[in-house]
Every structure is written in C-alpha cells, then in structure tokens.
C-alpha cells in the first residue's frame, strides 16, 4: 500500500505541468471610445502575425471566443470586439429612441485600434 501512495503522489507534479500547458492565457481587456460616452470592450488574446478581429453575433460578447481565440495566437494577433449595448460595452442613451440612430461604422473603431493596418475579420 505504501508503494501505491508514493506512485500516486508522483503523478501530481506531472498533472500540474499538463494543466499549466493546456490552460488558455488570460486575455487583456481594454475599452475603445468610438464616440463621446460610448466605449466598446476589446478583448486582446495576443499572438503573433497579422491581426484577426472576431465579432460575436446576436446577443453574444467577445468572450464567446475565450476557448477558441487562443488556438489562433500562433499565427495571428487575435482581438474580439463586443458590440455596443452588449456585455461590458456601452450604449448611448439615444438608442432607446425610435428609430435608433445609425451605429458608428466599423472603420471608426478599427482606426482607433493600434496595428490595424491589415486585419482579417470573422464572426459568428
């Protein structure tokens, strides 16, 4: 029985190393002001290479990609943007009017993000 316990304890360091290797990195969260009083949440998973911007659909946030985005970081610098009015992104007070004012064009946001000269954009 003593031998079994020693072998069992010997497995824990190996398990800790495996868990550390497979744990996704913690993304950096920042906010980009697209107009006065309206900030959008931008999630930055880091990475190397050209920027890739992931856009969540419907009522989702950029954190929809928390498991998927780190898999792209070997080839791309991966960003996610949460649309206005969802998650931590702001919404203008006038949005509750009918008809709502038009949203800011995406180019306005991309011009405010660093290193966005060439970016690939994808969404769900």
Tens of pLDDT along 33-43? 888 888 899 99
The answer to whether residues 76 and 52 touch, using CB atoms and an 8 Å cutoff, is yes
pLDDT of residue 12: 52
pLDDT of residue 9: 44
CA–CA–CA angle 35, 40, 46 (5° rounding): 130
pLDDT of residue 91: 82
pLDDT of residue 75: 94
Instruction: Tell me which residues of the chain have a pLDDT lower than 50.
Output: 1, 3-6, 8-11, 15-19
pLDDT of residue 116: 54
pLDDT of residue 25: 67
Provide the whole-model pTM. 0.62
HEC-encoded secondary structure of the chain = CHHHHHHHHHHHHHHHHHHHHHCCCCCEEEEEEEECCEEEEEEEEEECCCEEEEECCCCCCHHHHCCCHHHHCCCCEEEEECCCCCCCCCCCHHHHCCCCCCCCCHHHHHHHCCCCCCCEEEEC
């Amino acid at each position: 029985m003593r031998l079994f316990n020693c072998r069992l304890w010997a497995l824990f360091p190996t398990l800790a190393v495996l868990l550390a290797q497979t744990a996704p990195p913690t993304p950096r969260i920042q906010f980009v002001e697209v107009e006065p009083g309206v900030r959008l949440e931008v999630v930055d998973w880091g990475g190397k290479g050209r920027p890739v911007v992931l856009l969540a659909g419907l009522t989702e946030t950029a954190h929809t990609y928390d498991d998927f985005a780190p898999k792209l970081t070997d080839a791309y610098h991966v960003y996610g943007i949460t649309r206005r009015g969802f998650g931590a992104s702001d919404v203008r007070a006038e949005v509750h009017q009918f008809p709502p004012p038009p949203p800011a064009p995406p180019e306005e946001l991309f011009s405010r993000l660093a290193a966005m000269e060439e970016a690939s954009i994808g969404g769900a």
